Amino acid sequence: MKNAQLADLIRPKTIEEIVGQAHLFGERGVIRRMLAGGRLTNMIFFGPPGTGKTTAASVIAAQSGMDFHKLNATSASLNDVKEVLRQTGNVFGSGGVLLYLDEIQYFNRKQQQSLLEYMEDGRVTLIASTTENPHFYVYNAIISRSSLFEFKPVAPADCAIMLRRALAYLNRENQTEKTASDALLLQIATLCGGDVRRAIGLLENTYFAADGELCAEDVRAFRSGVGNFNDDTHFDLLSCLQKSIRGSDPDAAVFYLGRLLASGELLSACRRLQVIAAEDIGLAYPQAIPIVYAACQSAVSLGMPEARIPLADAAILLATAPKSNSGDAAVTMAMADAEKGMGGQVPVHLRAPLYQGYRYPHDYENHYVAQQYLPDDLRDRRYYTYGNNKTEGAAQAYWEKIKGKK
């Protein structure tokens, strides 16, 4: 076989050939209608791997007639962006430059900020892609100047269309007539959880193992030998990691962390561990929040494979730490009241800059004085309940002693 990946060799070249993402490229798909209307804007594609983000960028570039350049933020820098502009010369005299920046989450804030210059003066139309939530990893100013489009896992029936194309290509290239049933192609597509690239790779392995008819036994054998192939989605694994830590099972926590890291989900794992530190450990061991943050920063700085070590330490620390969700429960209740429109009129003595009637706690014994802080319609509301743990128990005993004297 050629050195090129099969998925690249059979990549769709027109909108009509794209499988899945009907909400974007179907007959009434929003991107399809936008292109038909002669409009091309900065875009951010987000969604799981293998769902067609790179393919979509290539097709859009071909239809637009723009000079297309592709960079991957895991290895590229701003100097690479500048080199693209230098090579293209007078871009204003052509159709312009369409830059596809894959994995934009690996550009730091400063690098992303610097992209704005090229976006705002029209030298570059940017299509960025990420497997992460762009609101967490993409600079707000870039988001505000772009349209966000979600790429969803490709349905098995749609993925099977690409698998049939792949099978036909392999037969042409190898001058054979191997076959595969529709049921087998659907099985491969289902096993790969909406990731077309993985499905094509699994089909290709099965193809070269087959004598004539591709069989389910070979599919299962190749699938079991590839760690990235799994029935769980990206979000399932994150959920399993959090539930294992919440349930104080360090072995399960390390296992699901390992699954995520083996699948290339370093940033997702870091973000979820930081969420867990605040949501599930919280005030029972508040030091966990900065400790886990530092471990995640270290992991991102180190990169894989060494990143696994500080993240494993963080996961075990969280799983074996005392637990409390009192902070999360409190703010959830408070937000619910705020969304109902309650507490609109804050107490007069708390308003700035008047301060009529406000009593300054530091002027009193133990830096505390009883006064109303919540609005009148919520004055008796209690959002926070002390958790049953050593840290919160000590705080509760302290304040019961202080407030009981007033």
> What is the token pair recorded at 132?
């992460």
Distance, first Cα to last Cα, the chain = 83
pLDDT at 90: 44
pLDDT at 124: 84
Q: Which spans in 263-389 are helix H?
A: 266-276, 288-302, 308-320, 326-339
Reduced to 3 states (helix: H, G, I; strand: E, B; else coil), residue 123 is: coil
In angstroms, the CA 269 to CA 275 distance is: 10
Cα–Cα distance list, 82 to 89, 112, 118, 297 (Å): 11, 14, 9, 29
pLDDT at 361: 92
In angstroms, the CA 123 to CA 95 distance is: 10
Confidence of residue 220 (pLDDT cuts 50, 70, 90): confident
Do residues 242 and 312 lie in contact, with contact meaning Cβ atoms separated by under 8 Å?
A: no
Please say if the pLDDT value at position 218 is more than 80. Answer: yes
| Count of CB atoms situated within 10 Å of the CB of 235 | 11
Do residues 342 and 350 lie in contact, with contact meaning Cβ atoms separated by under 8 Å?
A: no
Q: Which spans in 76-139 are helix H?
A: 78-88, 109-120, 134-137
Reduced to 3 states (helix: H, G, I; strand: E, B; else coil), residue 287 is: coil
Average pLDDT, the chain: 87
DSSP tag of 154: P
67-72/124-130 β-pairing: unpaired
Report the CATH number of the 21-150 domain: 3.40.50.300
Mean pLDDT, residues 358-384: 93
Looking at the structure, give the CATH architecture of the domain made up of residues 238-320. Up-down Bundle (1.20)
In angstroms, the CA 272 to CA 293 distance is: 11
pTM: 0.57
In tens, the pLDDT along 268-301 reads 899 999 999 999 999 999 999 999 999 999 998 8
Mean pLDDT, residues 180-192: 89
CATH class of 156-224: mainly alpha
In tens, the pLDDT along 41-71 reads 999 999 888 899 999 999 998 888 888 889 9
In tens, the pLDDT along 294-332 reads 999 999 888 888 999 999 999 999 999 999 999 999 999
Confidence of residue 225 (pLDDT cuts 50, 70, 90): very low
In degrees, rounded to 5, the angle at the alpha carbon of residue 42 between the alpha carbons of residues 39 and 43 is 105
Least reliable range by pLDDT among 20-29, 196-205, 351-360: 351-360
In angstroms, the CA 206 to CA 184 distance is: 11
Domain coordinates of the chain in residue numbers? 21-150, 156-224, 238-320, 348-404
CATH class of 348-404: mainly alpha
pLDDT at 95: 58
